[in-house]
Amino acid sequence: MLEAQAIQTANETEADAHRRDLDARAEQLQHRGSDLESTLERLRAFEVAVPSWALGTGGTRFGRFPIEGEPRDVYEKLDDIAVIRELTRATPRVSLHIPWDEPDDAPALRAHAAALGLGFDAVNSNTFQDQPGQSLSYKFGSFCHTDAAVRDQAVAHNLHVIEVGRKLGSDSITVWLADGANYPGQMHLRRSFERTLASLERVYAALPDGWRLFTEHKPYEPAFYATVVQDWGSSLMLAQALGERAFCLVDLGHHLPNTNIELVVARLIAADRLGGFHFNDAKYGDDDLTAGSVRPFQLFLVMNELVDAARDRGASFAPSYMIDQSHNVKDPIEALLMTVDNLQRAYAKALLVDREALEHHQERNDVVMAERTLREAYETDVRPLVAEVRRRQGGALDPIAAFRASGYRQRTAGTRSRAGYVPPQSL
Ligand code: LRH
Ligand code: MN
């Protein structure tokens, strides 16, 4: 946790400028007929889960550059996520990856999280790596494997992940499968899909009451010729075949160049199968960069589909918003603070779209006015609104500035030495 006054002190230095900006924005919005207070109320409801695997520095096959003070275990990862929640007031849940962050004592981890004001979003299974002591390899796949014993092993792992999630108070599981082939002819494209569906049916059948299962598509990597769950169509086929508690998860980085991702989102909404997101950004492949850092307009267009759907779907429209990133050159906490800020901004801009006017121009094919209506919202500087929503909940006007002023990273650099460190055994 941050020191008591840290956020207040940081906010004091920004207070006057913030007040001026907010008043100016309020006047501009009023002039447009938008109501500041209802926008702030809806923005306040935007929450996103932080992935446990993004608090340590990430890397590529070419290298990893660790920083001083990064978390040494899942408990310290929760401590860092709590700091992000304190500063942004928008990250009350953690998405855990098993076995990467498997707690040796789930009730103890749940209590540690609760004490930090945190809960658990979707748990993630992992049948894309062979664990030490694992009897059968996933080299040629898991749910799609030609050997029933490998499929059994993968199903058993997912049932175990559900069990851990149940103890943590989670209510959903995300299944991303690396399953696929590197060469034409290597894998039967239909049988591999049928085996994957049959394996997922066994996991689906074991879902506790109220749980949802998310299937996550990805076009390539680590498979470089064909991936079993390659695109949204494959994911939707699985969700529809499994049942009403199966949904599609959209990782923004899992689309081939020039894919219209907001259209994919609109299709999954139309099918009532949009389960959630892994927010991030990318320039080329699955780059897992800070959401909104490369294609902020695309992120806005995705948020625009979500706000539009909430308008006609009502409260039942509740996709799980989660982040999935890898921080190779930024301090992971700072990268996540920027991510949450970028997501809040994109969502705030989407809330400011004049939907009556947009529909009016769309229905009359007034292309220019329709595009202008959308752009006007996108080009609105919503930073004072996002800062105000954080301030009203006790958060930071400028989370990065407050985080740096807090000295939290210097403190963890001092306390989290690896020398002689023994991971906690059931605290
Ligand atoms: C696959 C993926 C998946 C996670 C992993 C960490 O690329 O997006 O969601 O399991 O990253
Ligand atoms: Mn993902």
Which residues of 41-110 form beta strands (DSSP E)?
50-51, 59-60, 63-64, 93-95
176 lines ligand 1 (CB under 6 A): yes
279: β partners: 323
Give the pLDDT score at 3: 84
In this predicted structure, what is the pLDDT of residue 132?
Answer: 96
Say if residue 384 is preceded by a cis peptide, omega within 30 of 0.
no
Which residue among 127, 278, 288, 322 has the greatest number of ligand 1 atoms within 8 angstroms of its CB, and so is best to mutate? 278
Secondary structure (3-state) at 279: strand
Per-residue pLDDT, averaged over 36-47, amounts to 97
* Strand ranges in 56-128 using DSSP code E only, listed in sequence order: 59-60, 63-64, 93-95, 119-120, 123-124
| Ligand 1 centre distance from Cα of residue 27 (Å) | 43
Q: Is the pLDDT confidence value at 423 over 90?
A: no
Report the predicted TM-score, pTM, of the whole model to 2 decimal places: 0.97
Pairwise CA distance, residues 77 & 219, whole Å: 30
Average pLDDT over every residue of 7-35 = 95
Sign of torsion, CA 382 388 394 396?
A: positive
Residue 310 DSSP symbol? H
Average pLDDT over residues 157-182: 98
pLDDT of 140 > 70? The answer is yes
> Closest Cα to residue 381, out of 78, 7, 18?
18
Categorize the per-residue pLDDT at 426 as very low, low, confident or very high, splitting at 50, 70 and 90.
very low
- Average pLDDT, stretch 78-93? 98
Share of the chain above pLDDT 90, in %: 95
Q: Is the pLDDT of residue 46 over 80?
A: yes
Whether residue 421 has pLDDT greater than 80:
no
Position 85 pLDDT exceeds 80: yes
- Name the amino acid, one letter, at 156: A
User: Residue with the nearest Cα to atom 11 of ligand 1?
Assistant: 324
CB-CB neighbours of 371 under 10 Å: 12
Q: Residue with the nearest Cα to atom 10 of ligand 1? A: 176
d(CA 254, ligand 1 centre) in Å? 9
pLDDT at 425 over 70: no
CA-to-CA distance for 135 and 100, rounded, in angstroms? 18
Q: Span 265-273, mean pLDDT?
A: 98
CA of 324 relative to ligand 2 center, distance in Å: 5
For residue 172, list its beta bridge partners: 212
List the single range of 30-39, 86-95, 176-185, 264-273 with lowest mean pLDDT: 30-39
- In terms of DSSP bridges, do strands 212-216 and 180-181 run parallel, antiparallel, or are they unpaired? unpaired
Which residues, other chains included, contact 17 with Cβ-Cβ below 8 Å and sequence gap of 6+? Answer: none
- pLDDT of 419 reads 75
Question: How far is it, in rounded angstroms, from Cα 8 to Cα 24?
Answer: 23
Q: What is the pLDDT of residue 424?
A: 63
pLDDT in tens, 332-345: 999 999 999 999 99
The pLDDT of residue 4 is 79
**E strand segments, 20-143:** 50-51, 59-60, 63-64, 93-95, 119-120, 123-124
- Residue 278 Cβ contacting ligand 1 at under 6 Å: yes
- % the chain with pLDDT above 70: 98
Closest CA to 94 of 336, 281, 291, 264: 336
Distances from the Cα of 405 to the Cα of 209, 399, 408, angstroms? 45, 10, 8
Mean per-residue pLDDT over the chain, rounded: 96
Q: Which amino acid is at 157?
A: H
Amino acid identity, residue 266?
A
Nearest CA to ligand 1 atom 7: 286
Residue 304 pLDDT level (bands cut at 50, 70, 90): very high
Q: Is 251 in the pocket of ligand 1 (CB under 6 A)?
A: yes
Q: Is 286 in the pocket of ligand 1 (CB under 6 A)?
A: yes
CA torsion sign for 327, 329, 332, 337 is negative
Closest ligand 1 atom to 126 CA: 10
> How far apart, in whole angstroms, are the C-alpha atoms of residue 275 and residue 245?
9
Closest approach atom of ligand 1 to CA 326: 6
Distance of CA 327 from the midpoint of ligand 1 (Å):
14
More confident residue, 5 or 82: 82
